[in-house]
Amino acid sequence: MKSNKYNFQKLTPIKNADLEIYEDALNFIFDEDDIKNVALTGPYSAGKSSVLETYKVKQPDKRFLNISLAHFDSENYELNKIEINGSQNNDAVLEGKILNQLIHQINPNNIPQTHFKVKKKLSKFRMLLTSLLSSVATVLVIYMFLFREWSQFILSTSDTWLKNFLKFSTSEVTVVIVGVICTFILVYILYLMIQMIRYNRFFFKKLKIQGNEIEIFEEANESYFDKYLNEVLYLFENANAEVIVFEDMDRFESNRIFQKLREINWLINKKSKQIIRFFYLLRDDTFSSKDRTKFFDFIIPIVPVVDGSNSYDQFISHFKNGGMLGKFDGQFLQGLSLYIDDMRILKNIYNEYVIYHDRIQSIELNCDKLLAIIAYKNLFPRDFSDLQLGAGFVHNIFLIKFNFITFELQKLECEIQEKKKRINEAESEMCNEIDELDALYFTYSSPLEVDGKGEQQFSSRIAFIKAMKDNLGKIYYRQRSGYYEFNFQEEYEKLSQNIEYVRRKSNIEYKSAELIDKTKDEIRSLIDAMSKIKSKKLHEIINKENINNIFSTSFTNEIGEIFLFNDVKSSPYFPLIKFLIRNGYIDETYSDYMTYFYEHSLSKIDKIFLRSVTDEVAKEFTYKLKDHGLVVSRLREVDFDRDEILNFDLLSYLLKSNDSNLTRIFNQLKNRRRLDFISQFWSAGQERQLFVNTLNKTWSNIFKEILNSDYFNENQKQEYAHDTLHFSPIETISKLNDENCMSKYISNNSDFLNVSDPNIDKFILSLQLLKVRFKQIDFFTAESSLFMAVYKADLYEINIFMISLILNKVYELPKSEDYIHKNYTLILSRHQESLVNYVNSNINNYMELIIETCNLTITDDSFAALEIINNSDINFDLRVIYIKYLQTEIEMLNSIKDEELWSVFIEHGTLKYSEHNILQYYYYSDKGLDDNLIRFININPSNLNINYDELSADFGEDMAGSFFDDFIQCDKLVDEKYESLVKVSNIYYDTFSFESIPESKLRILVRQGLIQMNETNLQFLRDNYTESQVEFFILSNIDEYTNEVINQGNVLLSEVNMLIEREINDSYKLKLLEFITEPISFRGKRYSEAVKSHILKCNFNIDDLSDLITNYDTNSSVLKTIIISICTEYIDHIVTNRYVVSFNLLNTLLQSDKVSLKNKHRLFISNLSNLNKGQTQIGLQLLEMSEILSLFEGKRPKLEITDENQKILTIFHNKGWISGFNVERNDPNYYRAIGRKNSNGY
């Protein structure tokens, strides 16, 4: 078998279909004898024939006979339809076709008795023999009739040889023999004639061996099945087939033929022993539902192999097997497959595509477009043929494209005019504000007032209208004798009914909203869109609004005939044309996909490039062209706006020739940001100077785009910048520096001076124009002369890197930490260098740099430091920070010219710690002893030696006094510094008047004796300081206080109370107590016995009585005596308040003659609960209460009922000392108490 490398697909039924359930169904049919009429139904190309063909292969023992009645549309569709409709009622045509095919498929030997014969080629021998016998018979008959004349002729001839040779023919015997022979010949001819008449009573009018349609009868209107039924049955019976397959009968749309065939099948099977089945291959809609099931004994539905839902998979399969799948866009195949529902069409599309692709692909056509043309050709062959001739529906679609472009242009033009009109109306409006317009149109009949002011009181009517708008509730009008509120809002809203007012208001709002510029931009966009639409292809013009108009096109020829193309539009495949054209698969380049390309003046190479432009399938940028001028001449202006035009050879040619289309290409590069092309073309180096110059001039922000592009690496970006500085004029470079992009790039590129053979003057001029300031420069890669030129032109940033680089390479100073901490000192070391002037001219930037990079430490020499500190051009804040970081000590404060910096130096700087600097700051900074000076004093470990007498001598007593006054009152000085200065101050205050001195510092003043103890100072401290501060003052001067200052007039009880608690001599305390008559409590106090005795005698506080009684036993005998005297005096108070008295004190009081018996009883009873049995018995004895005492002996005394007795008995009972007590039965005024025997003898 020959190879099929293209994977061509045959259109005939296949014999290896997947039968599956179909096979079971067919086997079932052959197993059932009563199933004789079978239908295989399905749409065209569903695979009905393939199912049967495959079954035949699997069942070779079964005999099938196929009768195909295919009928196909002619090119003249309308005429063909009429012919079909005219023949639908003439079933004789179908019957004749069936018989004709049946006869041709049956061996004539099997049907010798049929009257239907097929003309066939006769045997040459038989024809020759028949002709020869007929000729011999004719000659012999003539010989017999002309025997005499023949004999006379032979006998009379002079030729002896001829006479001797033919002499036998003159004999009578010869005549007899000839007669016998002639008789035999005539008999044979007669036999042949009889045979012909016997078997050929019907002569075929016409017989065609080839083709599907065979006419066999002279009369086509007669029903041959009815007229020759026996002959028909004879043919079917002797067809030697089990199954007769009728294909495509449904195409004739005649159902009566099925009825006759069913009758024939019934008659055949009634007579024949063998079952003959009729299979019909039909569409599903051939019969109605009831007729189908009534006519057929079994129906096998064939599921279509292909429809619009799965044809995509078939396309994929075929093209994949053919090795072409990768050439197509998957979405296109999916879209196309939706319209292909016939397997044969699908296969033929594939076959034709393969052939076309191989024959016309020499110019690299688009495979999707080629397949689209092939699909269109298969489904619309007549329109495709017309298209080749420049006619037809598709041709007309592209013919009217210009009409729709014109329509779109007109729409855009109308829109532009509307916008221009809107701008003109707005610009022609004289008013600029709504208030101004309102002033023109707003009217009122009566005079109005706004917030009490009439119109004449405003600067203008506009201001009056505005005031009314802002004060709606304050507008009034006068009528007769009163004022009434005017409804401004209601009257104002009436203006909206004035058309002219509304129009002008709209214009003002349009102007005020700055919409004019926006509209102008929109107009420019619309103009650009008009330019682009002229070059659009048809599919780019089609949209939802015009698609129906475009595809409903018609054509009128020169004589007025109208072609509606209804044959195309009525086709069920018409949406395919829409799909292909709408998506650009069939476009203006369709002719390239229909014929060959012949290479003459235009080379194949150039043709391929031109094709790539029109097909919008770009070639690689480096694609080589042969004839640049010819290519340019074949291109339209609009083609230069396409991406596909981008080609290195073409652009080089245009640059060299300065072609007018060059602008279009560069505009395209700009508008579409084709940095990929720009990068590659520039890198290729073709016409670089022209290219860079033109590109920079056309695209003002190209360099910014390059910087942000991934198509240029860092080296290329730098090289492009070099080219720009070398090739582009100054004005172009200035425009390229959009948002300082070029300045920033160069300034940040340390390797930028790595240039070979630079034009230094042009380079420096360009850098100065761009105001470049290099942040860093790679000295080792930089061109040396260019580096020095950049240095001298100050084209670098003042930063630590650049200054260090200059110090190292220009100053030739070795690298060290001084670069960071002593930078300005190093710079000033060579005054002639331009760096000094450059730094001083940008001193503030320099200072910011130094402060940022010094790591908080500056060690400039004092002369350099003072240069900076005293430089008024330097920002004050920067000098402040500099001083903070400065580590160099400044000897004299007055060497700093700006006195405002003194406080900074005092606070943060390195200033020598000296009395001179402190006093200079105090007296001449106008800030006195401020926080900075205080801090300066506090943090220095050295002590100051400032003496009042010396200070008075140097600055005068007043200034010396003010210093010490401020010093004494300063609460922020640390105590150590404060005390050290006080020690040497040599100053004393007999009248101290400073308020709010902190306690610690007041203690220092007191301790150092600066505050003298006198009544004035004592009273001042009492009035202005706390008790603790006054206490410290007194204690520090206790002797002067008690012996000289305190007296009856100024003594304070609180002070005395405080002092008698302190660790001072009792003599001071007793002396102070002499001035006190008020009670003094000693509760919780630890007074000495002498002080306590004095207080109990002279200043007793009754509130202390309870503690005295309670703690009686802990006191000395002297104090006990005093306490007994006090208790005797306050016995009523003790009894009334039921004080708990110690037993020893109680025993003493019970024995005292100064205490009444009644109080003794009350005192005893109030303390009874705290006494034990023994103490109780002692107390009872002292009180001589014997009857109660007898209870401890177990007696039962009779006691008078009194409160005292009741309380005593109750306590006794609670303590368990008695068994109980009750009222005496015989004497209710007495208790009977029952005692318990005392175990101890009581």
Q: Is the pLDDT of residue 506 over 90?
A: no
- Looking at residue 303, the DSSP 8-state letter turns out to be P
**Least confident segment among 306-320, 420-434, 842-856:** 306-320
Q: What token pair was written down for 569?
A: 């539009």
With tokens 């000897």, the residue in question is: 891
3-state SS, residue 1198: strand
Are residues 687 and 815 located together in one domain of the fold?
Answer: yes
Does residue 55 sit within a domain?
yes
pLDDT tens, residue by residue, 665-709: 888 888 888 888 888 888 888 888 899 999 999 998 899 889 888
* Nearest CA among 267, 261, 187 for reference residue 224: 261
Are residues 566 and 651 located together in one domain of the fold?
Answer: no
- β-sheet bridge partners, residue 1200: 1230
Rounded CA-CA distance 319/8 in Å is: 10
Q: Count CA atoms closer than 13 A to 628's CA, side-chain side.
A: 14
Q: Pairing relation of β-strands 1218-1223 and 1230-1235?
A: antiparallel
From residue 1044, alpha-carbon distances to 1006, 1011, 1014 in Å are 17, 16, 8
Q: Count CA atoms closer than 13 A to 918's CA, side-chain side.
A: 20
Q: Count CA atoms closer than 13 A to 176's CA, side-chain side.
A: 3
Q: Which of the listed residues 538, 565, 593 is the one where a domain comes to its end?
A: 593
Are residues 49 and 184 located together in one domain of the fold?
Answer: no
Helix (H) or strand (E) holding 868: helix 862-869
Contact 823, 803 (CB under 8 A): yes
Question: What pLDDT does residue 1242 have?
Answer: 41
Which CATH number do you get for residue 221?
Answer: 3.40.50.300
Angle (CA) 432 436 437, round 5°: 90
Task: Count up the domains in the chain and report the number.
Answer: 5
Which has more confidence, 1030 or 224?
1030
Contact 1072, 1035 (CB under 8 A): no
Q: Which of the listed residues 301, 332, 362 is the one where a domain comes to its end?
A: 301
Q: Pairing relation of β-strands 562-563 and 64-68?
A: unpaired
Q: What token pair was written down for 1183?
A: 């009180």
Does residue 1190 sit within a domain?
yes
Q: How confident is the model at residue 789 (pLDDT cuts 50, 70, 90)?
A: very high
Q: What token pair was written down for 1093?
A: 């005795």
* Nearest CA among 738, 338, 773 for reference residue 573: 338
Contact 614, 588 (CB under 8 A): yes
pLDDT tens, residue by residue, 698-717: 998 899 889 888 888 888 88
Q: What token pair was written down for 578?
A: 């829409």
Amino acid occupying residue 675: L
Does residue 290 sit within a domain?
yes
- Looking at residue 796, the DSSP 8-state letter turns out to be B
Are residues 697 and 661 located together in one domain of the fold?
Answer: yes
Task: Determine phi and psi for 858, rounding to 5 degrees.
Answer: -125, 130
pLDDT tens, residue by residue, 1121-1156: 888 888 888 888 888 888 888 888 888 888 888 888
Q: How far apart are the first and last CA of the chain?
A: 154
Rounded CA-CA distance 272/566 in Å is: 53
* Nearest CA among 1166, 1204, 1159 for reference residue 1185: 1204
Task: Determine phi and psi for 337, rounding to 5 degrees.
Answer: -65, -25
Q: How confident is the model at residue 808 (pLDDT cuts 50, 70, 90)?
A: very high
Are residues 732 and 820 located together in one domain of the fold?
Answer: yes
Contact 1122, 1093 (CB under 8 A): yes
Rounded CA-CA distance 285/41 in Å is: 9
* Nearest CA among 888, 774, 901 for reference residue 838: 774
Q: Is the pLDDT of residue 772 over 90?
A: yes
Does residue 1128 sit within a domain?
yes
- β-sheet bridge partners, residue 1198: 1232
Which has more confidence, 169 or 408?
408
Rounded CA-CA distance 798/812 in Å is: 18
The packing angle between helices 675-684 and 648-657, to 10°, is 70
Does the CA dihedral 803-804-809-811 come out positive or negative? positive
Q: Is the pLDDT of residue 118 over 70?
A: no
Looking at 1137-1190, list the stretches that DSSP marks H as alpha helix, in order from N- to C-terminal side.
Answer: 1143-1151, 1157-1167, 1173-1182, 1186-1189
Does residue 1097 sit within a domain?
no
* Nearest CA among 279, 285, 287 for reference residue 38: 279
Which has more confidence, 1216 or 290?
1216
Q: Count CA atoms closer than 13 A to 1189's CA, side-chain side.
A: 15
- Looking at residue 279, the DSSP 8-state letter turns out to be E
pLDDT tens, residue by residue, 623-657: 888 788 888 888 888 888 888 889 888 888 888 88
pLDDT tens, residue by residue, 1068-1097: 877 877 788 788 877 777 777 777 877 777
Percent of the chain, pLDDT > 90? 9
Q: Which of the listed residues 251, 272, 301 is the one where a domain comes to its end?
A: 301
Are residues 727 and 806 located together in one domain of the fold?
Answer: yes
Rounded CA-CA distance 968/970 in Å is: 6
Question: What pLDDT does residue 823 have?
Answer: 92
Task: Determine phi and psi for 67, rounding to 5 degrees.
Answer: -120, 110
Q: Is the pLDDT of residue 74 over 60?
A: no
Contact 19, 57 (CB under 8 A): no
Amino acid occupying residue 341: D
Which has more confidence, 116 or 901?
901
* Nearest CA among 576, 590, 574 for reference residue 399: 590
Are residues 1106 and 1202 located together in one domain of the fold?
Answer: yes
Contact 228, 102 (CB under 8 A): no
What Rg, from alpha-carbon coordinates, does the chain have?
Answer: 69
**Least confident segment among 53-62, 168-177, 1193-1202:** 168-177
With tokens 């005390």, the residue in question is: 979
Helix (H) or strand (E) holding 243: strand 243-247
Does the CA dihedral 81-85-86-92 come out positive or negative? positive
Are residues 86 and 230 located together in one domain of the fold?
Answer: yes
Rounded CA-CA distance 484/449 in Å is: 10
Does residue 1095 sit within a domain?
no
Does residue 968 sit within a domain?
no
Q: Which residues are within 8 A (CB) of 1093 and not within 5 positions of it... i.e. 6 or more apart?
A: 1118, 1119, 1122
Q: What token pair was written down for 675?
A: 């940095």
Percent of the chain, pLDDT > 70? 87
pLDDT tens, residue by residue, 835-891: 999 999 999 999 999 998 999 899 999 889 889 989 999 999 999 899 889 988 888
**Least confident segment among 372-386, 500-514, 564-578:** 500-514
Q: What token pair was written down for 1168?
A: 């009874």
Are residues 281 and 176 located together in one domain of the fold?
Answer: no
Q: Which residues are within 8 A (CB) of 652 and not within 5 positions of it... i.e. 6 or more apart?
A: 686, 687
Are residues 289 and 324 located together in one domain of the fold?
Answer: no
Domain that holds residue 802: 604-828
552 burial (CB, 10 Å; 0-12 / 13-18 / 19+) is exposed
Sequential DSSP letters for 481-529: TEEEE--HHHHHHGGGG-HHHHHHHHHHHHHHTTHHHHHHHHHHHHHHH
Question: What pLDDT does residue 13 have?
Answer: 65
With tokens 């298209």, the residue in question is: 387
Task: Determine phi and psi for 1235, rounding to 5 degrees.
Answer: -85, 170
Q: Which residues are within 8 A (CB) of 403 and not within 5 positions of it... i.e. 6 or more apart?
A: none
* Nearest CA among 98, 16, 25 for reference residue 56: 16
* Nearest CA among 755, 750, 761, 830 for reference residue 789: 761
Are residues 371 and 243 located together in one domain of the fold?
Answer: no
Rounded CA-CA distance 909/892 in Å is: 12
E strand spans, 916-1046: none
Are residues 322 and 363 located together in one domain of the fold?
Answer: yes
**Per-position b or e across 18-56, b if 16+ CB within 10 A of its CB:** ebeebeebbeebbeeeeebbbbbbbbebbbbbbbbbbbb
Q: What token pair was written down for 490?
A: 């209601």
Does the CA dihedral 378-383-389-395 come out positive or negative? negative
Does residue 954 sit within a domain?
no
Which has more confidence, 765 or 68?
765
Q: What token pair was written down for 383?
A: 């329109």
Rounded CA-CA distance 590/383 in Å is: 13
Q: What token pair was written down for 1072?
A: 């102070």
